[in-house]
Structure 1
Amino acid sequence: MRVLLVEDEPKVAAVISDILRFNGFTADAVSTLEDASESVAVVTYDAVLLDRKLPDGDGLHWLRHRRRSSWFVPALILTAEMDSVDDRVEGLNAGADDYILKPVNMDELIARLRAVLRRPTTALGPVMRAGNVEFDPAGRQVWIDGVSVKVPRREVCLLEVLMRRFGRVVPKAALEESLFSYDNEVSSNALEVGIYRLRAHLSKAGASVSIRTDRGIGYILVLTRPEVSEAKHASGKNSEVSPSLVQQK
C-alpha cells in the first residue's frame, strides 16, 4: 500500500518513512502542501499522514478542502503543537480519520494506520448522500440539490439514521433511540410526528428520496426519482451513501 507523508521536519520524515517501508508500505514524503497537492493529483494513495503546521499553511485546512472535493483517501493527522481537545475535535470533524500527537510510538502509528485502512472505503467520507439529499454529520447541515435546507434538530437525527441505512428498514425502536435520552418524556406518537415533519421538509425541498412505512416494523428511506442526474446533486461534497451503495449500507 502506498502512503503519502506530509512532514516538513527532514529527520522526522526520514524516520517515519523508514518505518513505513520496513512494515511493507510504499512511502512518498513531501514537505509542503503544494507538493502534497501535486502528489495526490498524479498518484492514487491508500492513506495520507499529514502534519498540521507546514511552511505553506495548515494541513487541516488542506484536508478540509480536499474532502469538499470528493477526496476520501484515509488521512491521519500528526501534530506536536495543536494538541488541545478543541484541536482534536476540529481535526476529526474536518475529515481526519485519526488524530495522533507527536512524539508517537512507531508501533502505535503503524497499528493506527492499519486500523484505518481496514475500514470500508465508502464509510470514510464526512458527508452522506442519498439521491439528491446530502447530510454533513459534523456540521448537522442538509442540502437538497446543493441548496441548504433548514431542518429542525430532531428531524435531522431521524434523517441521519435513515440515510445511514439507506434502502433498509429501520425499526421504530432504533429511530426512537436516536431521538430521545432516558430522561426524556416521550409521547406515544412522537416518532410518527417526527417522520411526518421530515417527510414534509423533504417533499417541499424537492428531494428525490422519500420515507416509506413498513407497517408494524419501521421506516425505510428509498429513492423515488432515479432519473435525477448526477449533475444535480454533485455539489462538491464527499459522498458516504448513494443509491449505488444501497446494498452495502
Structure 2
Amino acid sequence: MAQYRVQSEGDSNDFVFTRSFRKIYRMFRSLKNRKGRFVLIIGTPGTGKSANIYSALKMLDLDIYDPTLFLDNMNMSSSEVFHEFFQTLRVDLGVKTNEEIYQKVAEYDAVLLADKLLDSEFLDKDKFGLSLWTENNGIKAFPFYIKVFREYLKHRGDLEKVNVVIQTAFMIKIRGIKYDLLTDFSILSEIFVFLMNLFFEIIRISYSEEETVQIIQKNFPDVDEDQILSCINKYGCRPRFIFEDLEKGLGNEY
C-alpha cells in the first residue's frame, strides 16, 4: 500500500498515529541504546505492516541494514533458498562465513528483514521474493523456516549483539484465496503466535474501527463515514483492501 499513507513522517495533523504505529515507533526508538532484541511484526494482510515500519524509520535517526533477496526459480528447494539467503548476505556484507555476518551486522542499530527481502519482485519483475516463494510452495516451504530457526538457536549468543526486526507473515493459498497462518486461523493462529512469543518479541498491527475510519478519511476525504463503515463490514479493519475498493469505485455499491 505504498501509495496510501497509513502512517508517515511530517505534520502530525496530516496523519493518523494509531496505537500500533506508536508501538512500532517506540520499539525502533529503543534500538539505539539496546542490543539483542528479536522482534517479529505481524498483522492481517491489508493492515500495512511495511507502511508502519518504514514510516517509523523515516522519523528516526537509525543505521539500519535492510537487505534484498532475489530468487530466480519458484521451484527452488528450501535448502537452495536457505543457501541463497546467506550467500546474498555474505556477498552484500563482503564477508566469507556466516559467523562474520553476525559480527558485521552488529555494527548497525538493527537488521530489518522486510519488503526488499519478502517482496523483491516489485524491485525486479524478473525475480521474486521470499513471500511469493512461500505462498507458491505452501507446506514445502516450512523446512526453510525450520532451518532459519535452527540457525537462530545456533547463533543465539552472537545475536545478543544484534537487533533483528522481521516483517512476518506465513502466507498460504487455499482454493485460490490467500491466508496468513499467524492471523487468519483463529485459535490455530493464536497457538502459533503463543509459541513464537516464547522466543521472540511480537508486535501485532491492528486497528480499531475508529482508527480505520480516520485512516480512510485522510486518503478519501470525500467518502462519507457510512460508506466507509460498509467497507469495514466487508473487509474488516484492513485499510489497503478498502483503499483498493474505493480506488476502483466499487465502494459506491455498498
Taking structure 1 as the reference length, the TM-score comes to 0.28
Q: Which has the higher contact order (CA 8 A, sep 6+)?
A: 2
**More strand by proportion, 1 or 2?**
1
Rg (Cα) greater in structure: 1
